[in-house]
Amino acid sequence: MPKIDIDAAPLRRGSIYPEPYASQMAGRSSRRLGDLAGLTQFGANIVYLEPGAVASLRHWHLNEDEFAIVLTGTLILAEDSGETPMRPGDCAAWKAGVPVGHRFVNRTDAPASFLVVGSKAPAEVATYTEVDLKLFIAGGKARATYHDGSDWAGPRNLAPQGGKE
């Protein structure tokens, strides 16, 4: 398979999060390059963040390893354990099951982007560490619960987990 035509991967917006979190992802878009190339074992997506945008809620994955490299601009890696500025070529990784919430934030006046790679487990659980939300993801669908497993019925914040934001 030759070089990937990046612009041929649809620019995706939107979110699997329930509101009000989905709307907080405005300014985020992505292209799924691995899917475009027919890969099935892991995803390889470029995520674009406009000034002020965030890539996700702060979260960790139960079953899927994750790796990211900054491509353009300057990002803040905001984790429960603290914040780190990230520039092009800087990398970070999160082993499946390690409960350290993390997300990328663009606090600059310029666009930024990163490549993120994640395994494709048959079923995944994402736990959010600043809001009382868990997503059970399988077959392309997501079911939302609170951390205690009860059905999600609206936003609840959690106590701060560290890392000023």
Shortest reach from residue 47's CB to a copy of itself, in Å: 14
Of the two residues 26 and 39, which places its CB atom closer to a copy of itself in the complex? Answer: 39
Cα 123 to the chain's mean position, in Å? Answer: 16
Among 21, 67, 136, 152, binds a copy of itself (CB under 8 A): 67
**31 close to 51: Cβ distance less than 8 angstroms:** no
58-62-68 Cα angle (round to 5)? 55
Site for a copy of itself in 98-157 (CB under 8 A): 98, 100, 115, 117, 119
User: How many C-beta neighbours within 10 Å does residue 34 have?
Assistant: 18
Tokens found for residue 34 = 């691995």
Amino acid at 123: A
Site for a copy of itself in 27-66 (CB under 8 A): 33-34, 37-42, 44, 64-65
Q: Which residues pair with 45 in a beta bridge?
A: 32, 116
Of the two residues 22 and 98, which places its CB atom closer to a copy of itself in the complex? Answer: 98
- Verify binding: residue 77, a copy of itself, rule CB under 8 A: yes
The Cα 1–Cα 152 span in angstroms is 43
CA dihedral 83, 84, 87, 92 (to 10 degrees): -100
Of the two residues 25 and 58, which places its CB atom closer to a copy of itself in the complex? Answer: 58
The Cα 124–Cα 121 span in angstroms is 6
Of the two residues 31 and 134, which places its CB atom closer to a copy of itself in the complex? Answer: 31
> Which x/- pattern over 81-100 shows residues binding a copy of itself (rule: CB under 8 A)?
xx-x-x--xxxxxxxx-x-x
Which residues of the shown chain bind a copy of itself in the complex (CB under 8 A)?
A: 1-4, 6, 33-34, 37-42, 44, 64-65, 67, 69, 71, 77, 79, 81-82, 84, 86, 89-96, 98, 100, 115, 117, 119
